[in-house]
Copies of this chain bind each other. A is one copy, B any other.
Amino acid sequence: MLLDRNNYHLFQPLLYQVATAGLEPEQIAKPVRAILRGQKNFDFRMVEVTGVDFAQRRLATSGGPISYDFLVLAHGGETNFFGLDSMMKHGLGLKDIGDAVTIRNHVLTCFEQAMLETDPERRRAKLTFIVVGGGPTGVEMAGALSELIRLVLVKDYPRLNIKDVRILLLEATDKLLASMPERLREAAGKTLWRKWIDVRFGATVADFDGEQIRLKSGEIIPAHTVIWAAGVRAAGLSARLGLPTARQGRIAVEPTLQVQGHPDVYIIGDAAYGEQNGEPLPMVAPVAIQMAETVARNIARALHNKPLQQFRYHDQGTLATIGRNAAVAHVFGLNLSGFPAWVMWLVVHIIQLIGFRNKLFVLLNWAWDYFFYERAARLITRD
């Protein structure tokens, strides 16, 4: 039985394209019941899990208690604002469909409001877009935002002075895409600059009140939009389990992915904390997928009283796209940048999308946008 508070599976790596009006939310999500329709022994309940009674082997949920024999917790991650209250209030995270649609509406509304604004300073503030975090999410978001504005919105707003538009990417360290080799990091930085994105290193955010952002250095930048891609942590459920948490609220698991002292409970994905070669496992989708495979095998082995396997992560590399024809790829021992990396990015993401229909519609959308310099989903659907 699968429990989830949403009725769909979301392909998070393309969320930033929903946020920049390139894809429609329905194209990167698929109803859980549709995905697992063929499984005769499968049941789904749309509930929110609020706690676990490990002794009684029972979950507390919004739909009443549910008992289990084996429990796999895969409740994932959420945006980590690192306790920065002002950012939690005014910043825009990017972890679910609601977040992505909120960013889309907000960015487009800024342009509409800028057209009504007579004061040039206030207009420039409305047209200043700040992305915080130089990991893959921040880099992809900044690149897509730049293309949305410079390839598409310029045509929508013939009275817009493009010199009023600023996009900044703030990174607290001195590295973009820290997990990539240096050559690709440099390539990514250059590509961002070529897209008129002002990349700032050593830039730590101190405060954001919705109208201006203040950096630790004392610098103040008037801006109405801050997209926060600077961190993830384990989702809230982790803190309510009564288990000791490690970094980012994650729960340490045994090498078999079992919870210490509860051999019938497994944790996988962003919520699980494990180490490999002395390094913490990254909070990325490939780790979660490979963990799921190990747990499935381990539960089968437990049922047959066989010894359990230890989890080993096989790092297949990292990919990040920075717009048309531009990406960096560190995969299968290869280091690619530019067009070859971009093609690899396309292929890998289309393959991983669940369902033929989603693959088809996303491909069509990409082809359309590529050839016509368009983003069809640029609707402001709510405030």
Q: Which residues of A contact B (CB under 8 A)?
A: 6-8, 24-27, 29-31, 33-34, 37, 43-47, 63-64, 97-98, 108-109, 112-113, 115-116, 155-157, 159, 357-358, 360-361, 364, 368, 374, 376-382
Contacts and interface: CB of A to CB of B under 8 A. Distances in A.
A8 B381 CA distance: 9
Contact of A379 (B25, B109, B112): B25
Contacts of A34: 156, 374, 378
Given A33-B157, A116-B45, A116-B63, A376 B357 contact: yes
Nearest to A368: B357
A33 B380 contact: no
Most chain B beta-carbon neighbours within 10 Å: one of A29, A44, A157, A376: A376
A377 B47 CA distance: 20
A168 B225 CA distance: 47
Contact of A381 (B43, B98, B376): B98
A361 B374 CA distance: 15
Contact of A46 (B33, B64, B155, B380): B380
A162 B382 CA distance: 35
Nearest to A101: B381
A47 B380 CA distance: 12
Given A47-B116, A156-B37, A6 B63 contact: no
